A = this chain, B = another copy of it.
Amino acid sequence: MGITQERTAEQDLPYDVFAKACPSRGTLEHVTGRWGALTVGALYEGSLRFNELRRRVDGVSEKMLSQTLHALERDGLVHREAQPTSPPRVDYELTPLGREVAGRLLALIHCVEDRMDEVLAARAAYDSRGA
Contact = CB atoms under 8 A, between A and B. Distances in A.
Interface of A: 3-7, 13-20, 23-24, 27-29, 31-34, 37-38, 41-42, 44-45, 56-59, 73-77, 97, 100-101, 103-123, 125-127
Nearest to A123: B74
A28 B106 CA distance: 11
A3 B112 contact: no
Given A32-B33, A104-B111, 20 more contacts: A3-B44, A3-B103, A3-B109, A4-B104, A14-B116, A17-B38, A18-B58, A24-B113, A24-B119, A27-B116, A32-B108, A75-B122, A75-B123, A76-B119, A97-B122, A101-B108, A101-B115, A104-B107, A107-B108, A108-B108
A10 B1 CA distance: 27
Given A15-B116, A107-B3, A122 B76 contact: yes
A17 B10 CA distance: 37
Contacts of A56: 18
B103 A4 contact: yes
| Copies of this chain in the oligomer | 2
Interface pairs A-B: 8 shortest CB-CB: A76-B122, A3-B103, A32-B32, A104-B108, A20-B59, A20-B58, A15-B116, A15-B113
